[in-house]
Amino acid sequence: MESRVKLGFLASGAGSSAQAIVQAIRAGDLAAEARLLVSNNRGAAALEFAKAEGVPSLCIPTQADPEAADAALARAMADHEVELIVLSGYLRRLGAATLARYAGRILNIHPGPLPEFGGPGMYGRRVHEAVLAARAPASAIVIHLVDEEYDRGPEVARRAVEVRPDDTPETLEARIRALEPAFFVETLQRIARGDLELPGEDPP
């Protein structure tokens, strides 16, 4: 029997993957609960989506006092009994309190092969520009655990994405972006079914 994973989401913008995951839960395709969505941006479309879907949501700005914001984020996730945090276009580095409380339980999706095309500053179109500049035969979508270093946490799942001869950074970005939400849903389905264990997780 599938366990219902209690999910929390972090998004700075639209939160496309978060939206796809919540919709999969609503459709009965994912054995999970959407417990909380948090954004650092009051104007984030993800907050409007959460409100429309009845998902509890909060805005926790991070710029004025990052340490206090981190403590508030960790506390909010715990108060909503979140078990697994999903990053969906969250453009702020997580702080020590959240990383410690949810060690091994924070998932991020990266639009290129890791570790080769990750690290500080490697996000969005920059990743696709670097992949094409390196003449890599393929790109990838990588879901990984988040730790103190950018894009260095253990890999959870990977899907190869063809690099076509006529690709530009824009076309590669569009193709990968279109694939990311469904891949995140699929990976969470595998976790919920027990078909995929998170790195470092003890088997039942």
Q: Is 110 a catalytic residue?
A: yes
* Cis peptide preceding 154, ω within 30 of 0: no
Q: How far apart are CA 106 and CA 172, in angstroms?
A: 26
Catalytic: which of 80, 110, 128, 144?
110
Beta-sheet strands, E only, within 11-87 = 32-39, 57-59, 84-87
Question: For residue 113, which of 125, 128, 100, 103 has the smallest C-alpha distance?
Answer: 128
Question: For residue 125, which of 177, 178, 161 has the smallest C-alpha distance?
Answer: 177
Helix, coil or strand: residue 75: helix
CB-count exposure of residue 63 (10 Å: 0-12, 13-18, 19+): exposed
Q: How far apart are CA 195 and CA 87, in angstroms?
A: 21
Residues with a known catalytic role: 110
